[in-house]
Amino acid sequence: MTVLYFAQARRVAGRAEETIAADAPLTVDQLWAELLNRHPDLAALRATSRLACNQQFAQTDTLIHPGDEVAIIPPVSGG
């Protein structure tokens, strides 16, 4: 699966995107666990960030399949 990082998540992860190899679908919590293992500082953003899978906001019961595109979307402000 491809993980896209936006805004603060991009800064914290130090990259705009990365590939996560998975042989089976992952739950949202399993994916977060993998991301936090790779980028522990993302923990500060987890409670306020949303995951989108294939351009749809993911729910806690969403399964993320190999080949899916996941976006980490932290809170943003603007004017």
Quote the pTM value. Answer: 0.90
Q: According to the model, what pLDDT value does residue 60 have?
A: 86
Q: According to the model, what pLDDT value does residue 62 have?
A: 93
Give the mean pLDDT of 21-35. Answer: 94
pLDDT category at 78 given cuts 50, 70, 90 is low
Give the mean pLDDT of 25-42. Answer: 95
Percentages helix, strand, coil for the chain (3-state, rounded to 5) are 30, 30, 40
| CB proximity list for 60: less than 8 A, separation 6 or greater | 27, 28, 29
What CATH number matches the domain at 19-73, 3.10.20.30, 3.30.70.890, 1.10.3720.10, 3.40.109.10? 3.10.20.30
Q: According to the model, what pLDDT value does residue 79 have?
A: 53
